[in-house]
Amino acid sequence: MNIKIFSNLEPELEDLWKTFEKKSNHTFFQNSLFIKKLVNFKKRKNYFVVVFDSSEVIAIFPFEIKKIFGIKILQWIGTKYVDYCGPLISQDHEISSEFFKSLWQKILDKINCDLVILDKQAKFIDNLENPFVNFLDNFEISKIFLIDLPDNEDEYFQNITNKKFLSEFKRTSNKVREKYHLKFENLKMNKDELKSIDLIKKKNLMLNKNFFGKSIEKNFVNFFDDLISDFPDQIKLSVLSINKEIVSANLGFVKNDRFYYFMPTIFKNDYNKYSPGKILISELIKWSIQKKIKIFDFGLGEENYKKYWSNRTETLFRHFYSKNIKGLVALKIIKIYLFIKNFL
């Protein structure tokens, strides 16, 4: 086993990555093009760790250094902007606890940082164990709500456990369909690119007006503008219209048999009383079933509405490790902050 650490996405690394991602397990957010966009969007010091068994790549770990008050924090690239962080790992090479712990220590010895915070990590990456969760100490940070989709939509809706929710939803949905013209569509990214970006800008404006909401950074709009041109088939901008007025939208991703419900938006208008966000979700679920998608992933966040639609959950984890005294002091402060935040 040997490792090679790249500081930028040079041609050699890009070629290795593009070849390896075809035979590795990873989420949409560790795609080489997506990572490249994140690197260009947020200029930071990067550590791309490539792990070899002889000459064969068996894992890639994309890290960056985030500096806060002089503290160098090692984290996954783009942690703030994605729902899942983690490595790319070979489908054909089993990673043991002993092997990984030795590997991880070797990596830490080569990286200049004070503190390690690895966030938003799932226990499994597809069907493979995530070594960063299974072989290191971690804390649970959030639940992810998912739907294991059946082969037809009737079976799905029949199996929704909260019958009161389902009854109220059907009544509201039927009412709006009787009174108005309702249309669901996935915009064609090349043709409607400007239209889709306008929706993201509108989402940004809405959130900036909300004192308690999280706003999208201005450059994030440009980030998605670039991203859409690279993933015309995998990025889905879905909209719901009532009487030709867009009332809700979602920017999502498709990878293999999984749909990522990533950036939902509800626009304020006279139709809000009909729960357009719920109607859009139901249409997205129907569309996913029609496309033979197996998993509908609601992504980060434990909002109540996700519980009603989902039929299982997964847990995301966070790993802390301090490399020196400076990192240890920073870690204690961070843990105090997180403890207080949980009780506010």
Q: What's residue 208's pLDDT? A: 53
Q: In this structure, how many other beta carbons lie within 10 angstroms of the beta carbon of residue 190?
A: 9
* pLDDT band (50, 70, 90) for residue 213: very low
| Residue 214 in this model has a pLDDT that exceeds 80 | no
Rounded-to-integer distance, Cα 191 and Cα 206, Å: 25
pLDDT tens figures, 118-149: 999 999 998 899 999 999 999 999 999 999 99
Q: What's residue 43's pLDDT? A: 81
pLDDT tens figures, 215-240: 555 566 667 767 777 787 888 989 99
Nearest Cα residue to 135 out of 110, 112, 105? 105
CA 196 to chain centre: 19
Portion of the chain with pLDDT greater than 90, in percent: 70
Portion of the chain with pLDDT greater than 70, in percent: 89
| Residue 197 in this model has a pLDDT that exceeds 70 | no
Nearest Cα residue to 243 out of 265, 264, 274? 274
* pLDDT band (50, 70, 90) for residue 191: very low
At residue 207, the 3 state secondary structure works out as helix
Pick the CATH number of 150-293 from 3.90.100.10, 3.10.20.30, 3.40.630.30, 2.30.33.40: 3.40.630.30
Rg (CA), the chain: 21
* pLDDT band (50, 70, 90) for residue 40: confident
Q: How many residues does the chain have?
A: 344
List own/partner pairs for 218-224 with CB under 8 A and 24 or more apart: 219/41, 220/41, 220/81, 221/197, 222/41, 223/37, 223/38, 223/41, 223/81, 224/197, 224/200, 224/251
Task: Output the average pLDDT for the chain.
Answer: 89
Nearest Cα residue to 238 out of 202, 204, 189? 189
Distances (CA, A) of 272 to 153, 195, 268, 276: 25, 22, 7, 6
Q: In this structure, how many other beta carbons lie within 10 angstroms of the beta carbon of residue 342?
A: 7
Amino acid at 120: K
What is the token pair recorded at 152?
A: 């037809």
> Which CATH superfamily does the domain covering 2-143+315-343 fall into?
Gcn5-related N-acetyltransferase (GNAT) (3.40.630.30)
Domain with CATH 3.40.630.30 in the chain: 2-143+315-343, 150-293
Q: What's residue 194's pLDDT? A: 47
pLDDT tens figures, 94-117: 899 999 999 999 999 999 999 999
